[in-house]
Structure 1
Amino acid sequence: MIENERMDVPELLESVSLLVPEETATENDITVRDIWDYLVHDEWEIALGLLEELGDGRKFPLTFWEKLAEAAAQLRLERSAAWCRWRCSEIRNGVIRADLTLRPAAGARRTTPVSGAGVLRAMWDIGHLSPTGGRPVSIAFLWVENMPMLEPGGRATVRLVPLTPAHWTHVQPGQQITMHEDRTVAGTAVILDVHRPATAMPAG
């Protein structure tokens, strides 16, 4: 990202806009042409938010999210910067979306909320067996969709980015996995969909 460091916010956002096909639209029918209007009037924060929205659910190149992350960081939009960096990690390592239910505080080690912004590095039992018959765990970072945090006993759709993608190649929608922060079960999740790493995608 050395080239990004020489670019200011307007240049970064203009560069990102050029990666969006003209026919791409948000649920509210906002297109890249609308974003250009905001850029012309120096409404950078609005333009950035709309570019994030255009990127949701679509396969844009790594450069799209890298430059958005840099622009958000320069605008001091910490949550947006974290989200864009997270999307970069999803492209590199793949992502598993799941319906997670945490155990209530009274029955689990955790008594405080889980951060929703990709901070927690949890262990997951995803069905592997060790040569001795034990249940090894695999590590994945966790992002809670549409919520700043998830309370004990709470339920939400989460996004998991595996630390070692090769450990997760067998998981599939409908499979149940368990979350751990120690030997005890911290939560139970049902996999909704799986997206494999896309590191071979062109940088744009």
Structure 2
Amino acid sequence: MDVPELLEAASLLVPEETATANDITVRDVWDYLVHDEWEVALGLLEELGGAPPCPLAFWEKLAEAADQLQLERSAAWCHWRCSELRNGVIRAELTLRPAAETRRTTPISAAGVLRPMWNIGLRSPTGGHAVSIAGLWVENMPVLEPGGRATVRLVPLTPSHWTHVQPGQEITMHEDRDAAGTAVVLEVHGPRT
């Protein structure tokens, strides 16, 4: 499929009554598609896809369109949303330790490239702490500096490890043996396809 076909197909998966905070609707998307303004249509569909959550096929079509348009950030976001639907997502408020207290001295990229280990309360067979891996996307910022704080989205590598995680729970991020930061869980959503 080419870009317009992908965007048209994705727009058909958005409930007609859905509107963004700025009152953008699917009808507005179609106006941009008619005028071959595909980047704008893609951006509006990304906004419309958040609430209520659209199905996996919607995000797959948007990811393919963004890839074809060579829009790296949009493609990364759409692929990320596909991962959230397949593996679940945990939203949390993360506070990184300052650079002087940890090995990390550079900012974390917001675009889901870091996959740190998390102490989420699991135990190893010998009784020690066990960690589980989850990808990390920082919301509404390009990077998260050491010592900084932000709302993050976590996509578990092994969703079954995370079924006990609940809102209000504190979890610890590790990039090595030392804690790199702590997060308080805000929301937990299991896999959906």
TM-score range, shorter chain: over 0.9
Paired residues for 1:33-112 under 5 Å:
33-112=27-106
Deviation at 1:148, TM superposition (A): 1.1
Q: Does 1:136 align with 2:151?
A: no
Find 1:188's aligned residue among 177, 182, 185. Answer: 182
User: After TM superposition, what 4+ stretches of structure 1 lie above 4 angstroms from structure 2?
Assistant: none
Q: Does 1:31 align with 2:37?
A: no
Q: Residue 159 of structure 1: SS of its match in structure 2? A: strand
| Equivalent in the alignment of 2:158 | 164
Decide whether the 8 Å contact of 2:107 with 2:144 is kept in 1: yes
Between the two proteins, the alignment pairs up a number of residues equal to: 193
Alpha-carbon deviations, 1:132-191, whole Å to 9, x = none? Answer: 221010000000001111000000000000000000000000000000000000000000
Deviation at 1:54, TM superposition (A): 0.3
Q: Does 1:127 align with 2:124?
A: no
| Equivalent in the alignment of 1:8 | 2
Q: Does 1:19 align with 2:6?
A: no
Deviation at 1:128, TM superposition (A): 1.1
Amino acid at match of 1:140: A
Alpha-carbon deviations, 1:49-105, whole Å to 9, x = none? Answer: 000000123221111000000101111110000000000000000000000000000
Q: 1: distance between equivalents of 2:115 and 2:80? A: 13
Deviation at 1:20, TM superposition (A): 1.2
How many percent identity over aligned positions? 81
Q: Residue 133 of structure 1: SS of its match in structure 2? A: coil
Q: Does 1:153 align with 2:156?
A: no
Q: Residue 139 of structure 1: SS of its match in structure 2? A: strand
Q: 2: distance between equivalents of 1:195 and 1:163? A: 14
Q: TM-score, length-normalised on structure 1?
A: 0.93
Q: 2: distance between equivalents of 1:57 and 1:191? A: 20
Q: 2: distance between equivalents of 1:76 and 1:58? A: 27
Q: TM-score, length-normalised on structure 2?
A: 0.98
> Where does structure 1 lack aligned partners over 5 or more consecutive residues?
1-6, 200-204
Q: 2: distance between equivalents of 1:29 and 1:145? A: 22
Q: 2: distance between equivalents of 1:128 and 1:45? A: 43
Decide whether the 8 Å contact of 2:171 with 2:182 is kept in 1: yes
Decide whether the 8 Å contact of 2:18 with 2:52 is kept in 1: no
Deviation at 1:115, TM superposition (A): 0.9
Q: 1: distance between equivalents of 2:156 and 2:176? A: 18
Amino acid at match of 1:121: R
